Structure 1
Amino acid sequence: MQVIHSQHLEAHIDSVLVNVFKDKNGPGGVFLVAKNGKLNYRKAFGKSNIELDVDMVPDNVFQIGSMTKQFTAIAIMMLEEQGKLNVNDVVSKFIPDYPNGNNITLHHLLTHTSGIKDFTKMKSIMSIAKEDLTPKELVDFFKNEPVEFKSGEKFEYNNSGYVVLGYIIELVSGNTYEDFIETNIFEKLAMNNSRYASDRAIVKKRAYGYHNRGAFTNKMYVSLSIPYASGSLMSTVDDMLKWQEAINNNLLVSRNTKDKVFSKNKLNNGEQFTYGYGWHLKDIDGVPTREHGGSVFGFKSMSVYVPSLDIYVIGFSNCDCNSPTQVTRDITSLVIKNFK
């Protein structure tokens, strides 16, 4: 593809997104592109609330699903810098009765190499889906399941690992996960529209979540204590840009710690895999990226950061029928070509 001149970049991104969000009266999305921390693109599509016929706006608040794992990982690294834990610590140091806990480290949990059962894949998950569980109760739900493989033997994406990390954050800090993230990250970075998700609280400019099962329906109710530290945060694209800038500028953790977060890791057999701590480490058109998506009932999210060009692209959708994963990567590809 030929190089796209900056003045045409907006039109090219528009054409990509209009093709995805064809139904102006259906659920929509919000997308943002930034270069060197400055906005290049920020637009909303579709409806934030179908029933009330409310248009989406760029500062709508979305559930971000597994992008929450970025915050959990950085929280763990902040505690490591404070000397309160080490990523090489074993789980049993914090949860003495955790089965096989002497063989599972925080590093294994962070990198999805622990081998513990992913509770979201358990057939019995629906028995707790609507229950408000404490972190200990949630960990107890899956901790006695047989391990899938020996720790460090393979990479297999795992929500349970990040639930255990959230619980450890609470045990070590003396605060709830929600309070720790709110105080040490959201307040510090003035991420004023980010929060632990709630279906009960009044959240200004909330985007409502939908499914499409042949027709649009309101999202299924699931207690937000269940995704917990693996997927229960809410944010806006603007706040997420603040988050990315804070990481770039080492406002939360040092450069050395950041290098650890964004290093590819190896399995027991020496084979490298493309996940750091809370981010996939991939590439687009041969250019290295840090990226992660999220999926939680009624919502999908995706962000891509290109370190070499300081490009950040993020997309939110308020229907799990419209995954922004590929379109966000496609937009990133366009932007890379524009600035390379």
Structure 2
Amino acid sequence: MFRSAVAATLLIATPAAAQQLTPEQSAKVDTIVADALRSSGVPSASIAIVRDGKIVFTKAYGDQGPGIAKGPDVNAKYQIASVSKQFTAAAILLLENEGKLSLDDKVSKWVPDVTDADKITIRQLLSHTAGLQDYWPQDYSFKAMETAVTPQQIVDRWAKKPLDFTPGTAWQYSNTGYVVAGMIIEKASGKKLLDYLQAKIFKPLGMQAIDQDKAVGKGFPQGTHRYALGPVRPAKPAADGWLWAAGELAMSAADLAKWDIARIDRKLLTPEDWAMQETEVKLADGTPTRYGLGVSLGEHGGKKEVSHGGEAVGFLSSNVVIPEARFAVVSLVSADFGGANDVIAQGITDLLLPVAKPAAALTLDQQRDALARKLFDQLRASAPDRSLMTEDANYFFDATVLGDYRASLAPLGEPLAFEPIGKPRLRGGFVNRNYRIRYKDRMLVAVTYAEPGADGKFEQFLVMPR
């Protein structure tokens, strides 16, 4: 029976090159991962951290299942699913540099039996703007996925349906589009997709990536499901062929980090092609999509964030790169529930690249309460800012009134609390707000009326014993 992470003791492998994190940072990373696994019930995780363009930390946590005999293995290959899309897109860019195709080729040149193939470009396939219906929108494997499938069979069932929208006019995630892109890679290169990736990307970067369909059984992490709050259960893998060019790869966290370093250093692909992959594809009417060619686009602390997540049967993954900061984090987990992968990636990013969060804007009531307290303090000192008061209020606060306010209030010192009573209400065109002013041995009340709005002037500010 699969050993649930909830019941098992957390097992930790030795970190590699962890000395570039401080001991305190390493301990906090451990806590981030352990907390994410514990709270979600996710059995295992494997992470890699890149700082200054180098892998400085790799570690595996938890129970990777019966296929991993001696505890968590940092070299274990997790299925990265849709994180693979950026490799498919990179293959297209490499083939364009070889002069074998163009991003703006019509799909009809390569796979003519796709619906409206003469209206869809390769660029639109890679940016999810082609209109092809997604063959796997579900977060579970459906019945057909128990039987092996070929790319052509996926195309026959889903890519020959009417388009969901005119190409370029909307954004809709589509695994189908990436299957078509994979078929184009094989036709343009004359090689199997994984053979081309091996020759052009994995071997040059020293990556040990394999077909995710083969990453099952002895030596590989066990993918898991969880139904509602039930027990963690082993996940039955989909039959061969279902993820292919839309999510075909399995690798270790460190191997994926090597790809991230190539992105940071602008190696393997040309700088122009890296920039092309990271350029947002906008819709025909200029609407932003926050997506490039196989990557999601965002920002962290004012710097571009290039990321993608992945979901296979029993696995989730997150890959976050901030090229300008020369930083990346890879988070792979052996569960398709709980979202621990994102929690880990975000937590580590926030730890090592902290961003000051802007103070939350004050509500209108909070602004008015602060202004009331300000005027109260001024009246205690007999020095009110008369621009805060209406003509009638300025008439009321003559020398006698100000003298009595100062003489009776100043000796009380600072109040222990100045807090609103009840909710604001309208009267006579003004907003009535009342306040409880608490001292150690007495209580006062301020009854105020003011013009509406954040800058409304006070019509009344009466202080009296409660």
Give the TM-score normalised by structure 1: 0.90
Partner of 2:169: 153
Q: Is the 8 A contact 1:280 1:291 kept in 2?
A: yes
Distance 2:301 2:291 in 1: 18
Contact 1:300/1:319, CA 8 A, preserved across alignment:
yes
Quote the Cα distance in structure 1 between the aligned partners of 2:68 and 2:110: 47
Paired residue for 1:196, among 211, 215, 228? 211
Q: Structure 1, residues 4-49: CA drift from partner, whole Å, max 9, x if none?
A: x944222222221111122899621011111023233322111111
Q: 1:141 matched to which residue of 2?
A: 157
Classify the secondary structure of the residue corresponding to 1:151: coil
TM-superposed CA distance for 1:130, in Å, is 2.2
Count how many residue pairs are aligned between Structure 1 and Structure 2: 330
**CA 1:202–1:330 in 2, change beyond 3 Å: closer, same or farther?**
closer
1:231-310 aligned at under 5 Å gives the runs: 231-310=247-326
**Residue in 2 that maps onto 1:206:** 220
What do the CA deviations read for 1:120-179 (whole angstroms, capped 9, x no partner)?
A: 138xx8353122222222211211212111111111111111111011111111111122
SS at match of 2:46: strand
The residue number in structure 1 matching 2:130 is 114
Q: Tell me, what secondary structure is at the counterpart of 1:40?
A: strand
User: Aligned partner of 1:85: which letter?
Assistant: L
Give aligned-pair identity as a percent. Answer: 28
Does the CA-based 8 Å contact 2:67-2:220 persist in structure 1?
Answer: no
Letter in 1 for 2:167: S
CA contact (8 A) 1:26 1:47 kept: no
Return the letter of the residue paired with 2:65. Answer: N
Shifted more, 130-139 versus 22-31: the winner is: 22-31
Please say if 1:179 is aligned against 2:181: no
For structure 2, the residue ranges without an aligned partner over 5 or more in a row are 1-20, 356-466
Q: Does 1:69 align with 2:88?
A: no
Structure 1 letter corresponding to 2:290? T
Matched, 1:45 2:61: yes
Q: What does 1:158-169 correspond to in 2, within 5 Å?
A: 158-169=174-185
Higher relative contact order (CA 8 A, sep 6+): 1
Corresponding residue to 1:58 among 70, 74, 82: 74
Are the equivalent residues in 1 in contact too, given 2:225–2:335 (CA < 8 A)?
yes
Which residue is 2:328 aligned to? 312
Quick one: which of 116, 120, 129 aligns to 1:104?
Answer: 120
Is 1:94 the counterpart of 2:107 in the alignment?
Answer: no
Distance 1:158 1:24, change over 3 A: closer
Alpha-carbon offset, residue 60 of structure 1: 1.2
Q: Deviations over 1:180-218 (max 9, x none)?
A: 1122221222212x1112348777x41111112211221
Cα RMSD (Å) of the superposition? 2.3
Q: 1:151 to 1:48 in 2, by over 3 A?
A: same
SS of aligned partner of 2:28: helix
3-state SS of the aligned residue for 2:146?
coil
Give the conservation status (yes or no) of the 8 Å contact 1:64–1:231.
yes
2:344 to 324, 327, 331: 327
Separation of aligned partners in 1, 2:70 and 2:335: 15
CA contact (8 A) 2:215 2:250 kept: no
Unaligned stretches of 5+ residues in structure 1:
none
- On the 8 A contact 1:119/1:160 being kept in 2, the answer is yes
| 3-state SS in 2 of match to 1:267 | coil
What secondary structure is seen at the aligned counterpart in 1 of 2:354?
A: helix
- List per-residue Cα deviations over 1:48-84 (Å, max 9, x = no partner): 1158775222211100010010110100100000011
- 1:72 maps to amino acid: T
Instruction: Give CA deviations for 1:251-300 in whole Å, capped at 9, x if unaligned.
Output: 32211111111111211001222111111111234432000010011100
In the alignment, the residues of structure 2 paired with residue 298 and residue 57 of structure 1 have an alpha-carbon distance, to the nearest angstrom, of 18
Matched AA of 2:318? M
Cα distance change, pair 24–164 in 1 and its aligned pair in 2 (3 A): closer
One-letter code aligned to 2:213: S
- Residue range with higher mean Cα deviation, 291-300 or 52-61: 52-61
Q: Look up the SS of the partner of 2:118 in the other structure.
A: coil
Distance between the aligned counterparts of 1:92 and 1:211, measured in 2?
A: 40
- Preserved CA contact (<8 Å) 2:319 2:330: yes
Decide whether the 8 Å contact of 1:300 with 1:322 is kept in 2. no
> Do the aligned partners of residues 24 and 264 (structure 1) sit closer, same or farther apart at CA in structure 2, a change above 3 Å counting?
closer
What pairs with 1:117-132 in structure 2 (closer than 5 Å)? 117-121=133-137, 126-132=142-148
Partner SS, residue 117 of structure 2: coil
Q: Distance in 2 between matches of 1:51 and 1:72?
A: 29
CA deviation vs aligned residue, 1:86-145 (integer Å, no higher than 9, x gap): 0111100101222200111011111111111001138xx835312222222221121121
Amino acid at match of 2:179: V
Any conservation in 2 of the 1:129–1:223 contact (CA below 8 Å)?
yes
Aligned residue type for 1:197: Q
Q: Which segment is superposed worse, 58-67 or 210-219?
A: 210-219
TM-score, structure 2 as length reference? 0.67
